[in-house]
């Protein structure tokens, strides 16, 4: 297969983990005879510094011309600590999602037996947990009408974010959830706050109307606060969870902690145009240049990319290599066993590339 990949390394640890992701993708392409080409593009704080725009038009065109986007991370403390900044790196990420029509974010939460001890939860709760959170990505408060902090007519400073959803937006993401549930254990949990929010009542109304089209899938409904508790109390309850943008952002970060490290979980964002594959963690600027960032989420994002194009064997080999590296304690510091050998970002990536080449 011939694939054109847009490479958006971004900020912080992004370039370091991206180097390993591309190396793994190339090793798999060589092994299976695929023709994969790459084109780098600016995004995030790096793009603001270079051209004043976190997602410049040239980057957008590069993404549109590609078969897939491999993305790392955006974010920089100089913007985080400046509430008055007019342009922020994260605006580039939101712009990419909106312009590419990436309305479905697929985030698997899967535990690794050899890392269960790293989870803050008890082993018996975590072991075997395996679910997917499907987050609506282009609606809700992140994209609704906004009013920045300002002083109103009463002399009180206020601000506004509108949690807007339309029926078509809700229906299309629910159908994505049902499609994934049918491929797994046929259990879909719709997460909302319908007892308080009008937008959530729309979600529940639409879900109740279309659930009859999927009689083979068990559908249940859960308020977001209850879902947050249930993920801690009984993570193995969930199979596929579908929810709106803000709730999904919070719940998926909570879910990542179940595995013991945010550096282990990949994601895919799909929709109207070019799909994007990325780790769920941020740019971790404190780790930049120290060769300590975990590249596994980036590498597993490559596995998801191959699988998206129907290349199951290629994705499976990457997953096998990642599991082998963990089993043999080839791990970055945050998940290394006590007394284990020291491996950095580059060393872990090289070990996985060598495993693939020698398999």
Catalytic residue among 239, 249, 343, 355: 249
Residues in the chain: 359
* Cβ 303 vs Cβ 266: under 8 Å: yes
Burial category of 347 from C-beta neighbours within 10 Å (exposed 0-12, middle 13-18, buried 19 and up) = middle
Catalytic residue among 65, 225, 327, 354: 225
Catalytic residue among 193, 239, 343, 355: 193
* Cβ 5 vs Cβ 36: under 8 Å: yes
253 catalytic? Reply is yes
Catalytic residue among 130, 253, 308, 346: 253
Catalytic residue among 103, 142, 178, 214: 142
Q: Which residues pair with 135 in a beta bridge?
A: 105, 243
E runs forming strands in the chain: 2-10, 35-40, 68-73, 104-110, 130-136, 146-151, 157-161, 187-192, 218-223, 240-243, 266-270, 276-279
Burial 136-152 (b: 16+ CB within 10 A, else e): bbbbbbbbeeeeeeeee
The set of catalytic residues is 142, 193, 225, 249, 253
């Amino acid at each position: 297969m011939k694939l054109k990949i847009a490479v958006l390394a971004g900020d912080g640890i992004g370039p370091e983990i991206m180097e390993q992701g591309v190396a793994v993708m190339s090793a798999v392409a060589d092994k299976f005879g695929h023709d994969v080409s790459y084109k780098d593009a600016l995004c995030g704080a790096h793009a603001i510094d270079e051209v004043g725009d976190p997602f410049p038009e040239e980057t957008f065109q590069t993404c549109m011309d590609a078969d897939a986007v491999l993305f790392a991370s955006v974010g920089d403390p100089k913007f985080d600590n400046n509430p008055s900044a007019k342009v922020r790196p994260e605006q580039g990420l939101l712009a990419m999602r909106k312009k590419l029509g990436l309305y479905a974010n697929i985030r698997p939460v899967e535990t690794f037996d050899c890392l269960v001890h790293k989870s803050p939860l008890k082993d018996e709760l975590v072991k075997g947990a395996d679910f997917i959170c499907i987050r609506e990505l282009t609606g809700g408060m992140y994209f609704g009408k906004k009013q920045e902090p300002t002083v109103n007519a009463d002399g009180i400073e206020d601000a506004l974010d509108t949690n807007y959803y339309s029926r078509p937006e809700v229906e299309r993401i629910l159908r994505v959830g049902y499609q994934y549930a049918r491929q797994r254990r046929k259990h879909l949990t719709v997460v909302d706050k319908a007892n308080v929010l009008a937008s959530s009542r729309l979600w529940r109304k639409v879900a109740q109307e279309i659930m009859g089209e999927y009689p083979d899938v068990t559908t249940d409904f859960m308020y977001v606060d209850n879902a947050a508790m249930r993920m801690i109390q009984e993570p193995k309850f969930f199979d596929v969870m579908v929810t709106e943008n803000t709730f999904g952002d919070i719940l998926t970060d909570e879910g990542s902690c179940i595995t013991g490290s945010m550096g282990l979980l990949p994601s895919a964002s799909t929709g109207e145009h070019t799909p994007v594959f990325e780790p769920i963690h941020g740019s971790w600027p404190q780790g930049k240049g120290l060769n300590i960032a975990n590249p596994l989420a980036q590498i597993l994002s490559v596995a998801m990319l191959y699988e998206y194009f129907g290349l199951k064997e290629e994705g499976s080999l990457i997953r096998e290599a990642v599991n082998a590296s963990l089993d043999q304690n080839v791990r970055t510091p945050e998940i290394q066993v006590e007394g284990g050998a020291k491996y950095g970002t580059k060393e872990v990536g090289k070990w996985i590339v060598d495993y693939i080449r020698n398999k």
